[in-house]
Chains A and B, each alone.
Chain A
């Protein structure tokens, strides 16, 4: 075990789990946010059915993120979650409404009942996305910690920066949701989704530029990490990292072109790439902190035995999980028909 840096391995695993979550549940939540804009009720059914068989598995990555943090970095779990007590509460209650709407929408006997659960689905998705963005913003900004415990205030999570990240996540999810719908739908709804995707992309680009420009000012060490100084840039640091923003810009441009050309599958893949690159950029800024900028992954790590015993489980189970998850997506491939899952 001496040769393995378990805390770093675990940081990578958790980062991947959270990335899986934001991408997979990102498109679920994104189409939830777009829900009220759907042309008609049949389209809303198709939108919901495009993720109905997979949303539960998608949301499980969130549980892995939370549970994995608890297991691998209990000190970080204990220090960070009280800091975002309220946005986590918003997120959880929102996810409850979003989750039950999948069943309840189709159970409601009256149009009013159906509208009620449609609203729950929309608001649940929107609030969950905003809350996740607020949590992200709080994380990037850093939290007040004394010793190993949170020592800040009840509303520390509410700042201009966290509001920006909250709105950015909403924009990002609508981009993922609309490009997912381009893959899964056809005709009028697909046309709508293409329109949504073009608009979302514009907002996403603005949001990514704003967040990228703002983060170096949050913490001197972030500017230093990227080699950003005034009046001179440190190219020995900037150049190795430069591919991340450059690739993000290229992905955004390619996505713009793909949407203009009416491609059906590449917009989704490029949206995921754009998301992953933005995520990687933030990870580079923050590493090795797991509770920015107080506790590093080594400070907050669980006992080596605890990290090792669960790592075995991850190494065995994760390939299996990824395989059967892919298989389920494969089973439900293709356009979602008007009547659920039979063409």
Chain B
């Protein structure tokens, strides 16, 4: 049997990064949330914040661990599977990832130790600082990895000599044209994903009959944040789309499902099944006239159709088209749920609406699905390029035998299935218990006679369940 190293390497990269991205999306948001909780606890002395901090810290520890182990894989895969890309684009992508390691990874990894195990080793101020540093580290990490990704989407500040990319302007490289949009969109996505997870767990506890302050607080805080962030994400997402229109017109055409070019008044295609071979959408449902307006802000905006590119320069249209619609669909539901939920929470009716609590539980994984769909849209839509318009995916792959990649892909799938299942199971168990009430919080200013609120052994059991 003959294995196609290119296809398998693409599958492996897609699989490993999809698995990986779930955890950073969660930990970026959760780290900031933990910093807010610890800060509020220190400021107000309200034990409910402390109970929530301990509760989410345990889940954070598991999620962070999964993010780390799956992230190490990524830093080696460029070399093992994408060595041609690494050689040709390494001058530019390499330093960006290098800065991520230097400014973010060490910071997160080191202060995570204090965050998880240092509660009674360091003072409250320093512990809070460690939480803030970890939260800051996750955001710095997002900054660099998105700088690298954005450069691959819309490269700038470079020249090509003998097929190799050379940097000419580092500021232009880091702040490439789509980078600001992508960064805002992704960080908002991470916060929203986390907030829906937090609210979902809160609603789950409400459904189980809990009415204590930490549970109510967790649901209300999350919904309040979501009511602000989800509409904001609609705006940010749209602006990101406009930057794609400017920089990656072939991706935009695939997202919108346009095969034909329009000088203006393009239709807005809602649904359909784009057929790569027939070069049209099957069963298309469209609203005439307003497509240009939605994308360009003007009825007369021109949109270039897929047929204006040679077939080998077009992305896989159906995947891009549908991944985008799943993301946007979830986003719209999120806005409705967030606004209604915030209203219920504000008016004190959330606890009585069991049907709505069930919806919130259903929405718990919605952020993760939306993030994955968004990444499929971005990465599949970039095809057939690794560096958009400059370096083809087919020219980026390593000279490794397909059989090796087949084996490694299979092994990764098995390993990730085991580890992922266990991780989700453990996080689910922790979430099911809910925050502990009445556990003695440490006496804040004086650490000498703090009760042993750190349970033995692990960060995740760290905070009381073993006592």
- Hey, which bits of chain A sit against chain B, CB under 8 A? 45, 49, 52-54, 56-57, 59-60, 62-64, 66-72, 74-75, 77-82, 85-86, 88-89, 92-93, 95-97, 99-100, 102-107, 109, 148-151, 154, 302-303, 305-306, 309-310, 313-314, 317-318, 321, 324-325, 328, 331-332, 338-342
Beyond A67-B75, A306-B94, is A150–B399 a contact (Cβ under 8 Å)? yes
Write out the residue numbers on chain B whose beta carbons fall within 8 Å of the beta carbon of A99.
65, 68-69
Q: Nearest Cβ in chain A — how far from B236, in angstroms? A: 29
Beyond A80-B79, A85-B80, is A96–B94 a contact (Cβ under 8 Å)? no
- Hey, which bits of chain B sit against chain A, CB under 8 A? 61-62, 65-66, 68-73, 75-76, 78-80, 83-84, 86-87, 89-95, 97-103, 105-107, 109-114, 116-118, 120-122, 166-167, 170, 398-401, 403-404, 407-408, 411-412, 415-416, 419, 422-423, 426, 429, 452, 454-462
Q: How many angstroms from the CA of A231 to the CA of B212 in the assembled complex? A: 85
Write out the residue numbers on chain A whose beta carbons fall within 8 Å of the beta carbon of B103.
313, 317
Write out the residue numbers on chain B whose beta carbons fall within 8 Å of the beta carbon of A328.
110-111, 113-114
Beyond A63-B105, A72-B94, A340-B456, is A96–B70 a contact (Cβ under 8 Å)? yes
Considering the complex of A and B, which 8 residue pairs feature the smallest CB-CB distances, nearest first?
Answer: A74-B90, A71-B94, A81-B79, A106-B458, A53-B113, A78-B83, A78-B87, A339-B456
Q: Which residue of A lies closest to B82 (CB)?
A: A78
Q: How many angstroms from the CA of A79 to the CA of B462 in the assembled complex? A: 45
Q: How many angstroms from the CA of A59 to the CA of B112 in the assembled complex? A: 13
Beyond A70-B98, A103-B459, A328-B113, is A306–B91 a contact (Cβ under 8 Å)? yes
A45 close to B456 (CB less than 8 A):
yes
Q: Nearest Cβ in chain A — how far from B402, in angstroms? A: 10
Some 16 contacts from A to B, beta carbons below 8 A apart, are A56-B112, A57-B106, A57-B109, A68-B101, A77-B87, A77-B94, A88-B79, A89-B408, A96-B415, A103-B426, A150-B83, A302-B94, A314-B102, A328-B113, A340-B458, A342-B120
B86 close to A74 (CB less than 8 A):
yes
- B interface majority secondary structure: helix
Q: Nearest Cβ in chain A — how far from B248, in angstroms? A: 25
- A interface majority secondary structure: helix
Beyond A93-B412, A325-B110, is A77–B462 a contact (Cβ under 8 Å)? no
Q: How many angstroms from the CA of A13 to the CA of B452 in the assembled complex? A: 43
Write out the residue numbers on chain B whose beta carbons fall within 8 Å of the beta carbon of A71.
90, 94-95, 97-98
Beyond A314-B102, A339-B452, A340-B456, is A331–B419 a contact (Cβ under 8 Å)? no
Interface centre among B102, B105, B107, B122 (most CB of A within 10 A): B102
B62 close to A85 (CB less than 8 A):
no
Q: Nearest Cβ in chain A — how far from B359, in angstroms? A: 29
Write out the residue numbers on chain A whose beta carbons fall within 8 Å of the beta carbon of B95.
71, 302, 306, 309-310, 313
Q: Which residue of A lies closest to B61 (CB)?
A: A103
Q: Nearest Cβ in chain A — how far from B133, in angstroms? A: 9
A88 close to B102 (CB less than 8 A):
no
Write out the residue numbers on chain B whose beta carbons fall within 8 Å of the beta carbon of A148.
87
Q: A52-B117, A103-B458 are in contact. List 17 more A-B contacts (CB 8 A).
A: A45-B457, A53-B113, A53-B114, A60-B105, A70-B86, A70-B90, A71-B98, A78-B398, A80-B79, A88-B79, A89-B408, A107-B62, A107-B429, A107-B460, A313-B95, A313-B99, A339-B452
B72 close to A77 (CB less than 8 A):
no
Q: Pick the contact of A332 from B71, B106, B117 — CB < 8 Å?
A: B117
